[in-house]
Structure 1
Amino acid sequence: MPFSVPPYRLSQAIRDKCKRLHVFVQAFTLPSCWYPHRIRILAPHPVRNKCGNAVRIKTPKTGSAVPTLADVARHANVSTATVSRCLNSPDQVVGETRKRVLKAVQDLGYAPNFSARALAAKRTKTIGAVIPTMDNSIFARGIQAFQEELGRHGFTLLIASSAYREDLEEEQIRTLAARGADALLLIGYHRNRAVYDMLTARNLPVLVAWAYHADAPQMSIGFDNVTAMAGLARLAIGKGHRRLGFISAPGATNDRARDRVAGVRRAMREAGLRDTDLSLVETQYGIETGEAAFREIMTSATPPTVVLCGNDVLAVGALRAAKEMGLRVPQDVSITGFDDIELAMLAEPPLTTVHVPHREMGRRAAGMLVQILTGQGRPDNVELKTDIRIRQTLGPPPPER
């Protein structure tokens, strides 16, 4: 029975009654059971059993106390606000103080209680990203810069890879949303309308990257894939090529791949070429698949004189196949890529390709999400510029035989 006055002000009669009640409970309880702290308050004097011996009231053994933010602050001789700032926005804390706080964190074994923080702030400080694959370094470059910039603002990144599967991407998006991600980074626009509706209903900010359409309703940062690939195709056509080949990723669920094919077709139309002058093969991204697709194109009745590839990995596969087939690049056939990853420079011969500013895209994407999550308003969509890196795999077509 709870009392409305402190125990020390209770009458002696009530205190004795509480003591007898406690002894009664002790007689019928195993020694290892825990006793509520309230009973300890109601029995301020030592409690004795019927034999007159003092009764020891057990309390839970919690082991060493879990260090708190206040413990870290005392250990580092700073305020709790400084500790919080150091952990969430380290660039806002001067060097010596930051070192002292981080040493205190390490010495005490302190780990922030993110669950409690999320409940209090109604934010998890977590950003989710779903990328098509972890095998392609274009995403590794961009996501690394994305994570670095998020970290500067105290956000943590969770990444999932969809393996270019639309159903798996949808499942991963729903999982990240259910786990409390504050915002999502997605690659390209193509996905089920229901996914966008679900994210809108949750009021979850979404940023589309690696693609840009001026009229797209989604917040985005990227480049115009049509324009980028059209520029490379124009360069090839300008060197005299009239029969073109294109190795592309499957376009049914990949808007970037579709746009790159559209870019080649646009350049061909501008030059007065026919659709039949393009040999198109769709395949999964990979060196081996690029090699197989190149063989398929080059063994046709009228093989192209230049093969443009949807990315550098496919192009490296095409270069391997050309060498095995005894074709010289670019004397017998020209080959180009897209993305300008490290492989493009290391290929033999070095690959002519479209350079995409992946790291800039990742860094600025993080800044856009931080802007909207910190109440600074929705940022404008950002179109990044690509450029062509001319190396040694694109030349004029061979003389007609």
Structure 2
Amino acid sequence: MAKSRQPVTEEADAGKKPRSSGVTLRDVARFAGVSSATVSRVMNNPEVVSDELRSRIKVAIEHLGWVPHAAARALATQRTGTIGAVFPTLANEHFATAIQTLQETLEQVGYTLLLGCSQYDPEREYRQVRTMLERGVDAVVLVGEAHHPDLYTLLAQRQVPYVNTFAYREGSDKLCVGIDNHQAFFDFTTYLIGLGHQRFAMLSQNADSNDRARARREGVRDALAEHGLGITAAHMVEGYWGAREGRALFSKVMDTPQPPTVVICGNGSFAMGAMLEAMQKGYDIPKDLSLVGFDDFELMSELPISITTVRVPSAEIGATAAKVILAELAQKGSAQSVKFDAEIIVRQSSGAPPKTRRKTG
């Protein structure tokens, strides 16, 4: 009786070692031609070894199908290889860009990103950070410097490093990676004053739980005060988020006895909504009115009237935040805050104020 022939697998047919759940760290080291300690170092502190060595061990791991046991690794190293990040919203284009580069930079050295979304709610942010700490994250990335009053205490008790992003304040004792929002809008307002504007309005994002929005608002006020100008309560309005909100706020400031000659929008969605409302109501931008924004979302340069704005280097902020937190993990106290410059991008929507305002229906 003829013996049955065992089927030949694709891996065996290609001369490859079949993947096995019994593969150990020692097998990976032997295949890569390095010591077990070197493999451990690559897995636990990938940032301290060369790219060539990381690549060689990665090839060995993929070939052998080795999957490190996460619980055992965490017990041995006191690290889980995960970084937590809580962002206010995922609907903001420049937050999404920063998250992408943050994740990519961490992945390059073997870390996994756990992401939360607080919807600008400090209580929710606090709960999400607590949950991440319970899951054993090695560090936390946050947005802004103002958080729940117990958050910094919690992180200190757990001895978990963190970095605040999209905000920078000179003299802060917190690790920060971002722009000086106050300075950015102080400079922006000074530029607009230089064009001849004296009647300003601002569509500000609600600042109750958003220190970046508060800093932008104060930057506008301080620049105006330095030039002997001010902004009326009717022309300083607040809203939450979104183009629809921007349209409503724009109508509100324009429906006043002395309408502004320039409207500053505190975020990109407000700027796009305000522009759509201005076009629908027949304003000739910038002849009748200048309208400027923040964030520099892609659509802002593609609208029929492109929007002058303040550009924030979101991708660079995300990548740098990852590098800063990795440096702090490698050696506590070694990382330093990083300040980025905001850039004024002048487009079609801004110009000198009108000598006489055209009546609109």
Q: What TM-score, normalized by structure 1, do the two folds share?
A: 0.78
Match of 2:293 among 323, 337, 341: 337
Query: Cα offset for 1:276?
Result: 2.1
Residue 398 in structure 1 maps to residue 354 in structure 2: yes
Report sequence identity in percent. Answer: 40
Tell me, in whole angstroms, the C-alpha distance in 2 between the residues paired with 1:386 and 1:174. Answer: 33
Q: Which residue of 2 aligns with 1:254?
A: 210
Deviations 1:199-233 (A, max 9, x none): 11111112111111123221212221111001111
**Which residue in 1 is equivalent to 2:187?**
231
Structure 1, residues 134-166: CA drift from partner, whole Å, max 9, x if none?
A: 111111122222222222332221111101112
* Inter-partner Cα distance in structure 2 for 1:277 and 1:252: 17
1-side partners of 2:139 and 2:64: how far apart? 32
- Post-superposition offset of 1:103: 5.0
Q: Deviation at 1:366?
A: 1.4
Partner residue in 1 for 2:261: 305
Question: What aligned pairs does 1:1-400 form with structure 2 within 5 A after superposition?
Answer: 65-74=21-30, 79-81=35-37, 83-84=39-40, 89=46, 92-94=50-52, 98=55, 101-102=57-58, 104-276=60-232, 279-375=235-331, 377-400=333-356
User: How many Å apart are 1:74 and its aligned residue?
Assistant: 4.8
Moved over 6 A (4+): none
**SS in structure 1 at match of 2:114:** strand
Cα distance in 2 between the residues matched to 1:345 and 1:257: 22
Partners of 1:158 and 1:189 in 2: CA distance:
20
Q: Aligned partners of 1:154, 1:319: CA distance in 2, in Å?
A: 44
Secondary structure of the residue aligned to 1:248 is strand
Residue by residue, what CA displacement relative to the aligned partner does 1:81-137 show, whole Å, maximum 9, x if unpaired?
A: 555566563972538x936x5455345432221211111001112111110001111
Post-superposition shift, 1:352?
0.8
SS at match of 1:327: coil
Which stretch of the first structure deviates more once superposed, 267-276 or 255-264? 267-276
Whether contact under 8 Å (1:211, 1:222) holds in the other structure is yes
Q: CA deviation at 1:70?
A: 3.0
Stretches of structure 2 lacking an aligned partner (at least 5 in a row): 1-19
For the structure 1 residues 249 and 372, does the alpha-carbon distance in structure 2 shift closer, same or farther, using more than 3 Å as the test?
A: same
Larger radius of gyration: 1
Structure 1 unaligned segments of length 5 or more: list them: 1-63
Query: Aligned partners of 1:104, 1:381: CA distance in 2, in Å?
Result: 37
Superposition CA RMSD, Å: 2.3
Structure 1 window deviating more from structure 2 (214-223 vs 201-210): it is: 214-223
Q: Give CA-to-partner distance per residue, 1:52-72, whole Å, 9 cap, x none.
A: xxxxxxxxxxxx744322344
Amino acid at match of 1:382: V
Report the count of equivalent residues: 336
Distance 1:273-1:93 versus aligned 2 partners, 3 A rule? closer
> Could you report, residue by residue, the CA deviation over 1:158-180 in whole angstroms, capped at 9, with x for unpaired residues?
11110111211111111112211
Contact kept? 2:180, 2:339, Cα under 8 Å? yes
Q: SS of the counterpart of 1:130? A: strand
Name the SS for the 2:235 alignment partner: strand
Deviation of residue 78 (structure 1)? 5.5
Return the letter of the residue paired with 1:121: T
The letter of the residue matching 2:336 is D
